[in-house]
Structure 1
């Protein structure tokens, strides 16, 4: 969108291809380098730029031999275009030369980038005032000024840096526009647009925050939690950090079904004094102790197959936190706990896979047993270890049979010997093809829909168990969260508590050997309980890569000695152990 005409003064555009306009007509700015000189002056509007700086910005590491003369030539060409009525010997009015260098003296409203930033700031002020309905069209009008990538016709490190700065202002405008639309109740329409913006700006947490909130307001809680997990995985893999506090708080609010996240409680325009409600009677003094029904509300609900979420209200003197939600049928023992998920399968590169498939054939089956035993040890599979032992026995039978046959005549051993060769060679090749096949973990797009549902359900259960342990640790300990080795009725999705799980259970985790399991037990005994799962890395008990791989299934439940007093909870009736 072009800027409105403002008299004979030219207007300039850099939010797209570099251009200049006068009286509704685009000016011919000359060759590319001359356009680049103008762009340098536009990016430093009103400030003088030395000739050496212009040369470095336009030509980079390959400046011309007579750079000052070339810049002077391009400046003269720009003066002829921008000030056609100026006499050759008269000083320039728009493009002037001072002791510090060349300067382009035009008002900020003559440059589209300055107008865009000013409009975004004005719309953000309106949005901060609570008028989202008026802020959104203002932001969309400002964003319409972009005609493509900024400085699209120019290249070089100087223009790349300027392009990144301008793109940051565009991202801020897009984020403010999405926020205004979300607070106007247009969350359903925003989801596809926010998905595109998250893909375009993967490291900008603001878009992920708005996407999670929009999904949650559309009733898509599981997808909102999955969006948070994607952000967390990306930041951990790329930078080794957790999402920001704002994103974490939203994640916790979604897990707790915080009423303040609902669309009906979004920011509304500020009330005028005439609209303000009449003041209510002052509240009576709060009771010294919580009412009796607060503890009663925490009682484990009876089984109800139609009930999926049961709120656990709290009472306090100050405004209470958002209610914690616990699936009642999990507390009542209707389902057993999920076992920890298997270790993720790794994709084998096709050159390595070809070598593994060829080894049993080219070694006449003598390497088959070693390959199968290796995979059995890597995957901790007793069945694979037994299969490897079987291949070893067949190879030994072949070797003994060949060595005991001293004549060239047929013997009864020829058939079994030939059979062992076929099994160890071609059977081993087929076995390696199966072991190195492409992984299809649960939740993959090509996987069964039931597995996708189960994966999301397990993830939600784990997040609810983590929320329960963070806010009511005594209840989490009583429900044996993170203790799959104990009989319990609460399904925590297969979590393992690093502060209480026994050594043999820790050693069964993928990537944790008995030595590291013993280190975890010694560390929590000698140096105190682990505050979070990340303490495994900060205390140098496990490498960060192993901690990140196990983050989904680990939890650090505060022990009883360090936990805050919790409301009384009736004893849990555990299901009889079969």
Structure 2
């Protein structure tokens, strides 16, 4: 059954069984499916699903709501299954819900593996094969992924896939330039520069394509535009490879042109290599995201200019837990001490804040009961003088009073979660998480921040606080041995495996190579970075090109 299923996430979310499209159901059910698809073949804890699908305010009975959506997905994925027959595609394990589908049935996995094969073929010198692979991978994109899904989890997943697509686009352009197709690459590069305005590698490729097309003045103008953008917006200058290319274009360096085809070994590239930026690991507080195992990563060149920090990475706006719980307690006491007469006001405020018509209707009901109570019992009648309708109003008020207090408490589903996590509450956790997000943001937009600020290197002296990130491929062995959650034997295994088999490309690769359970690795997801090992100083490979030091 699972072999006939196909799923698309790179654009509108769709699914097929054989050639028959499937109805994925309401938005929350589609979100649950998206979380499971990104972890296809691996169990996802219920708590992670709740956190991803309901980022702002989880329902009180979150596991039951997830179970309801899972039941709908099972009916959709296995329409021919009898209700009494156990599910085969989507099952519940001790570690969470497990979606048993082939990885290649998800377009995200096919895209990632296609990019990985293209970069491997490029490294082996098979340009035509690499170009075909990366072109086929990019054809799978139909639009922005996870449209309509909000929250930090989906934002991180979307950001990672968009970054991988940008790397694939840069790789395709590099292969086209190597194949002499600079003329047709110019138009596409102009569009890509508009879509990714601060990616230096695209700017370098645009300048080179313009120069090779005989448009030297336009190549110089492209550099000026980019330099002005960086200075005005961020207070920095372009990196050394881009400045070097600018100087060579000013000198009309013939070494930038493609060598004429002929017998003999190929001439070395005259272009300063700008390696692709490493795909960042997912941001904190996200569930497991599938990353290509062993993805090729190249060292990132350093910029010589000092770095100025941009504004902090934007995070989701959330009401602090203590403030939310405090408002609930105040509202419940207000309803209790006012004999329920002010319950309508508390519920009305909740309804306006949450934009819930049901809550606003409940506020109207509480107001009508309060008004009826005031009208009936504002007279100086003795209890025995009340009629049956007045007694009904009295009993309704008493019942409503008790219900309103409970309603106010249940309106805030975060209360129970806050009480459950009270023992693990740490006031500084949010601040450290934001600093980690800021550091990841810097690495994404300013690769030179890695060397200048020593992000992820707690084993080196530094002044920048990155929230405790650890670059697992570069730190010294004692730092690995001190990672939280790893036993001494597991930590030693990681150290030995890194020495023998090289760096890790993702958390999944680390867990697979070292045979670590998900319960051990998942808490490390928000702490670890998987950057390429820092290169040892070496002279630039293009320094020996004829004409490099001319003029």
TM-score normalized with structure 1 length: 0.44
Asked which structure has the greater CA Rg, the reply is: 1
TM-score normalized with structure 2 length: 0.46
Of structures 1 and 2, the one with the larger relative CO (CA 8 A, separation 6+) is: 2
